[in-house]
Structure 1
Amino acid sequence: MSQARNHGVHHRPVRSFGDRAAAAGASARRRVVAQLSAGAPVLPVLPVVVVAVVVSADLVGGAGMIWLPLLAAGPALAATTNGPRGVLCVGVLTVAVGAILGIRDGGPGRELIAVLSALVAVTLASGLAGALRGRRERVLAAVRSVAETAQHALLRPVPSTVGPFQVAVRYSAAAAEARIGGDLYALIPTPHGVRLIVGDVRGKGLPAVGTAALVLGVFREAAHDEADLLAVVDRIERSLARNLGHDDFVTAVVAGYPQGGRLEVVNCGHTPPLLVRASGDVMPVEPDLPSPPLGLRALAGQTPGLQELPFAEGDQLLLYTDGVTEARDHGRAFYPLAEGLERHVTHEPARTLDALHDELLAHVGGRLHDDAALLLIRKPVPYEAHAVPAPAPVAGVRCCS
């Protein structure tokens, strides 16, 4: 036997009759589950229960033909969960049961024919409704797939480490079925250092998604081409000025890390980022010079300013959209993001954002009514990756110098 194992020969264990029967039963259960999931013509449970209730009422009450029209509820209910084949199975069952009960109760022939004809008509109509529902579900699944593909194309997944930073992102679209909205973010390494953007497009729906795609496309190109961060913002502004309407705009924060220990920030009418020092202190990064949103520079006549921040090891920067800070609870109170960040900040950005996102959803009662994006970067401390835990002291042993 050992030689067989060494040469890679596998012996199949001999099964008893009981084992084979149990395996056959499990296989049958799996086939039934597969049929249910594939929409095979098996009888739905709830419509069959309805038919059983009608039969019981007729047998117990003995009221003749009065209960038979209620059998039409069977195929009507089947249409809500099953395709045409499942509805047809329930319809055949209801017509057969109706004919048997009608003959048993001795009802008039014309009334029985009318009831059975109504059951056939309801079955056909329910089958058509089930087919249309299945078609709509397939279309919706295709739309969801396209939306998910568009989200991955626009809001590309961000790795946990980009350049010298630990990174985490959380995004929630208000249109949960679409999985994409008007908030945008990107973080990319460039020859000029790591650069990132978090923004919020005015409006919702497909126009907002189109504007977000435009901003992200220009940012990704300009971030590689332009050495000056203000030049990156200028290119986005020029592109939006050519393509947006007079009432459209984008609020955004564009940041860069061109050299060690310094962080550049350009705030274009966006909510101020939150800076977390290594000591745990949380402070908003208010712009030195208020700047208009992207797309409104020609109307406001102001140009954005570049702000430099010291960004040391252990510091963190949280960029977010107003869908986070304007989220309200049942008492109409806003979510206190700075306080939540101070409570949940850790050395792992992913854990921090997980806690913040869970608390945000709990604050609003489980469903956000606006798009919300969170992007957190952290400059790790070198010794964290190489720290070795000190050995535990051994009882009875004392060290001497």
Structure 2
Amino acid sequence: MPTINDQSPGRFRPRLATVVRVSPFLLIALSAVADAETPAGQRYDRFVAAAPALAAATWGSFGTLTIGLIAVATEVVLALLRDREVGAAAASVIAATVTVTLAASYTAGMRVRRERDLALVRSVARTAQQVVLRPLPDRLGDVGLTLYYNAAAEQAQIGGDLYEAVRTPFGVRIILGDVQGKGLPAVEMAAALLGSFREAAYDARDLPALASRLEIGLQRYAERATSLDASERFATAVLLEIPDDRPEAYLLNCGHPPPVLLRPDGGLRPVEPEVPLPPLNLSALVASEYHPQTLPFGPGDRVLLYTDGVSETRDRRGEFYPLTERLARWSGDSDVALLEGLRRDLRRYAGGPADDDVAALLASRLAPPAERSAGPSGPSGPSAG
């Protein structure tokens, strides 16, 4: 599935890393030139002692030691050119350079080991993401899927927002939700909810039955969870079912922001729930029955599911992001272009990265294969369902 996020590195970072890596050599060269071209009373050779300290930021222990030796050799050469001997002043610079080199070499070794540990942790995080939030195909049957997902925590791979889409005997079933809270407890609950959905989506007879199965799954999770507040946590979620044989879709909204239906003619509207429902894991507190909605959903129709990280993004004046108004700008764009436009606009509106997890999933009804191959001037195929 095409996935859009904010974690891609900037184009300038490789160049910056190269500049930082060669900076110790530049410092040694500039110090040598400045010392050789200025009067004897003005000493610039002392700056070579800083070269190994700079090297520790990007070089390993051996590289830092090598740069330190180059700095010492440069000081010796400068002393011989200036005084024809290595005097007390030059000896003090050499002693300082050796001291800095040894300390920097040790620091560089520690940094390299920690970077290896961090790389291992990130590898585990990526593996966990593929298990909890596994990649989705770009299409399931006649349903296209495009995702914008970004965890608010810096360098995070997983947040409290969740998504999944599976092809079942009832059609394509999708969940997009948001677990209350942040950190590992939210991720744990998100994993439990996704596990329940992946098991129940294939045999629950309809969306109310599926929501009931998810409720039971979260209640069982709360009973065995180690966190004390697990039973008090809840998750908002939207369940969407797109059958194969009918040009419609079924929607069940459990306390979640309303999805937006986009029509091929450029029209769009939020799909407000006909009967407000509480979030999942609150059925014991709020007695309610699940009432799904039926939406027209033929070829070219699209529906945008999103979390409150989108709708509750604020600008500097504290005003919420006007999602429906902004979506109209990209309603005629492709799925990927629409979500890319949304991603960029959210960053501009907030004045920087979002401070909450963000997830937006665009599901589109594609034309049946026969209709796509016939083209606009060919015979019309049967209505997609």
The TM-score with structure 2 as length reference comes to 0.82
Name the counterpart of 1:10. Answer: none
Matches within 5 A, 1:343-354: 343-346=329-332, 348-354=334-340
Quick one: higher RCO (CA 8 Å, sep 6+), 1 or 2? 2
Which of 94, 97, 102 lines up with 2:71 in the alignment? 94
Shift of 1:183: 0.8
Could you tell me how far apart the structure 1 residues matched to 2:247 and 2:311 are? Answer: 29
- Counterpart check, 1:336 vs 2:339: no
Q: Secondary structure at the residue paired with 1:88?
A: helix
Cα separation, partners in 2 of 1:354 and 1:67, compared to 1, 3 Å: closer
Could you tell me how far apart the structure 1 residues matched to 2:242 and 2:141 are? Answer: 10
Cα separation, partners in 2 of 1:265 and 1:389, compared to 1, 3 Å: closer
Which of 29, 33, 40 lines up with 1:52 in the alignment? 29
- Counterpart check, 1:363 vs 2:349: yes
Deviates more, 1:129-138 or 1:327-336: 327-336
Matches within 5 A, 1:143-158: 143-158=121-136
Residue 247 of structure 2 contacts residue 298 of structure 2 at CA under 8 Å; is this kept in 1?
yes
Matches within 5 A, 1:354-393: 354-382=340-368, 385-388=372-375
Shift of 1:249: 1.3
Which of 129, 138, 158 lines up with 1:160 in the alignment? 138
Matches within 5 A, 1:67-106: 67-102=44-79, 104-105=82-83
Shift of 1:334: 2.8
Name the counterpart of 1:6. Answer: none
Which of 312, 322, 341 lines up with 2:298 in the alignment? 312
Task: Give the paired residue count.
Answer: 351
Name the counterpart of 1:189. Answer: 167
| Unmatched segments (≥5 aa) in structure 2 | 1-13, 223-229, 379-385
Q: Work out which of the two has the higher radius of gyration on C-alpha atoms and give 1 or 2.
A: 1
Matches within 5 A, 1:318-329: 318-329=304-315
Could you tell me how far apart the structure 1 residues matched to 2:131 and 2:64 are? Answer: 41
Could you tell me how far apart the structure 1 residues matched to 2:364 and 2:270 are? Answer: 16
Name the counterpart of 2:234. Answer: 249
Which of 264, 274, 286 lines up with 2:272 in the alignment? 286
| Unmatched segments (≥5 aa) in structure 1 | 1-35, 392-401
Shift of 1:79: 0.9
Shift of 1:49: 1.8
Q: Superposition RMSD on alpha carbons, in Å?
A: 2.8
Runs of 4+ more than 6 Å apart: none
Shift of 1:366: 4.8
Name the counterpart of 2:96. Answer: 118
Shift of 1:161: 2.1
Shift of 1:316: 1.7
Residue 50 of structure 2 contacts residue 97 of structure 2 at CA under 8 Å; is this kept in 1?
no
Could you tell me how far apart the structure 2 residues matched to 1:102 and 1:166 are? Answer: 72
Could you tell me how far apart the structure 2 residues matched to 1:67 and 1:355 are? Answer: 52
The TM-score with structure 1 as length reference comes to 0.79
Identity of aligned residues (%): 45
Matches within 5 A, 1:253-292: 253-258=238-243, 260-292=246-278
